[in-house]
Chains A and B, each alone.
Chain A
Amino acid sequence: MTAVMAEALDRGTREALAGLLLAMADDEFVLGFWDSEWTGIAPLLEEDVAQSSIAQDEIGHAQALYQLLAEVIGGDADRIAFGREPAAYRHARLLDHARTDWAFSIARRFLYDTADAARLDLLVACAWPPLAGVVAKMRREETYHLLHMHTWLERLASGGDDARGRLAAALERLWPDALTVLAPLPGEELLVAAGILAEPMAAAEQRWLASLRPIFTRLELPFPFIQLEGERLETTLAVPAEPRDGHDGSDSFRWLWGEFTMVYRSDPEAVW
């Protein structure tokens, strides 16, 4: 695939690219801030360090993606990150939930990290070089997050009744919203045609679910999907109709937004 320049893309494709960058950046940004809520109060000192480090990685990824977005649509990355009202964020609904307890945070992060890995796989050969470069770097860092989340999922699933019960309950509650991460994005077919995205999100979602199935089966954790003809996995759950909109309706996200925009709202020119 020959490299494409963002300026050379037609308007529809540019808008779709901006939508993809905003969705990815907002995902990493919001999850990074939820992670940072564990700083100082994680159940183990090691986890205090780990969650803080993971949070810093995610916010760094968001920063790089907002920077790319600013190159596509113009404007300033900080302003895009901090200068919007809650309704204008485009993260997946999975990331609206508060951190809740440890098992809930692990369940959510496991679902997100594995889905995000499937999304990054679609961008490895991205025809827009700046995004391909950031993705190559992100994948290497996300490897550590995945390793860590696989370890914790196993640990809680094979722990006592309390740990196992909390993990299973969290997964039951999160599965419908987990399907918002790889929900189709507006104009994604244009991105596929331009060689920016290898395949539609639905293809990544199927690969993601297929990769989780043996793990959830072995650990006897909730996996609410049935296999239709062929390999296709379908869910019986009610998936949210607006996977990435309407966040102003989430009390927990509104609260988090108030926290992470506090400095920006009091002084938009602040430097730190």
Chain B
Amino acid sequence: MSPVRTPTVEAVWEALAEVPDPEIPLVSVVDLGLVHRIDLDLEAAGGGRLRVELLPTFVGCPALELIRAAVAERLAGMAANVEVAMTFAEPWTSDRITPEGRRKLRESGFAPPAPAEAAEQPGKPLFATIAVRPTASCPYCGSQDTELENPFGPTLCRAIFWCNRCRQPFEQFKRV
């Protein structure tokens, strides 16, 4: 398959922005900040090489292979050799979710994760803040008067809260 136009890194980003999260389809892998690196080498032997590295949100997330395969399928044809790999080269954190991603999460009925504590130190992520209970704003009514019901939810990346104002449960995309 020959590409219609010469692919650019920008075109790869645009293509990645069309790959949805399998659980929350309104948000893309770009919105979630999953893209670690894009290497595009059109001069590489055999008609060019494109390598994309993605960061897993959770180590044991069962959707990792689905996401990897969906990205590989979308990028197929942008270079003769397309490789998509998962990497732990840097830890994915919920601070990588873009402002647009946070808006789309809210639109999908999920509270976005609270931003990182200012006091968090690079070497000691989160462990220093163990006494701090996670907080969230209700995605339906915006109230801050919410309580953590369960730090574990229906998937690894979600926690369950209760809104005291609109009196209903909601899910938060966990801060990690």
Interface residues of A (CB under 8 A from B): 46, 49-50, 52-54, 56-61, 63-64, 117, 124-125, 129-130, 133-134, 136-141, 143-144, 146-148, 150
Q: Which 6 pairs across A and B sit closest by C-beta, in order of nearness?
A: A60-B60, A133-B88, A53-B152, A50-B152, A143-B126, A60-B59
Taking the nearest CB of chain A, how far is it from the CB of B95, in angstroms?
A: 11
> In the complex, A142→B142 CA distance in Å?
29
- Which secondary structure dominates chain B's binding surface? loop
Taking the nearest CB of chain B, how far is it from the CB of A132, in angstroms?
A: 9
Taking the nearest CB of chain B, how far is it from the CB of A119, in angstroms?
A: 13
Could you tell me if A63 and B60 are in contact, using CB atoms closer than 8 angstroms?
yes
- Which secondary structure dominates chain A's binding surface? helix
Q: Which residue of B lies closest to A54 (CB)?
A: B152
Could you tell me if A141 and B59 are in contact, using CB atoms closer than 8 angstroms?
yes
Contact with A57, one of B58, B89, B125, B126 (Cβ below 8 angstroms): B58
Could you tell me if B56 and A46 are in contact, using CB atoms closer than 8 angstroms?
no
Taking the nearest CB of chain B, how far is it from the CB of A53, in angstroms?
A: 4
**6 A-B contact pairs sorted by A residue (CB < 8 Å):** A53-B156, A57-B60, A137-B91, A143-B176, A146-B127, A148-B152
Interface size counted on chain B using CB atoms at 8 A: 29
Could you tell me if A134 and B59 are in contact, using CB atoms closer than 8 angstroms?
yes
> CB-CB < 8 A to A150: which residues of B?
130
> CB-CB < 8 A to B151: which residues of A?
50, 144, 147-148
B46 contacts the other chain (CB 8 A): no
Contact with A137, one of B88, B149, B153 (Cβ below 8 angstroms): B88
B104 contacts the other chain (CB 8 A): no
> CB-CB < 8 A to B154: which residues of A?
49
> In the complex, A148→B130 CA distance in Å?
10
> CB-CB < 8 A to A136: which residues of B?
88, 90-91, 125
Given contacts A138-B59, A141-B176, contact A133 B156 (CB under 8 A): no
Contact code string B55-88 (vs A, CB < 8 Å = 1, else 0): 0101111100000000000000000000000011
Taking the nearest CB of chain A, how far is it from the CB of B141, in angstroms?
A: 23
Among A49, A59, A144, the most chain B Cβ lie within 10 Å of the Cβ of: A144
Contact with A46, one of B62, B127, B150 (Cβ below 8 angstroms): B150
Could you tell me if B91 and A49 are in contact, using CB atoms closer than 8 angstroms?
no
> In the complex, A52→B60 CA distance in Å?
12
Could you tell me if B125 and A139 are in contact, using CB atoms closer than 8 angstroms?
yes
> In the complex, A201→B110 CA distance in Å?
41
B93 contacts the other chain (CB 8 A): yes
B residues 118-176 in Cβ contact with A at 8 Å:
123, 125-127, 130, 149-156, 160, 174, 176
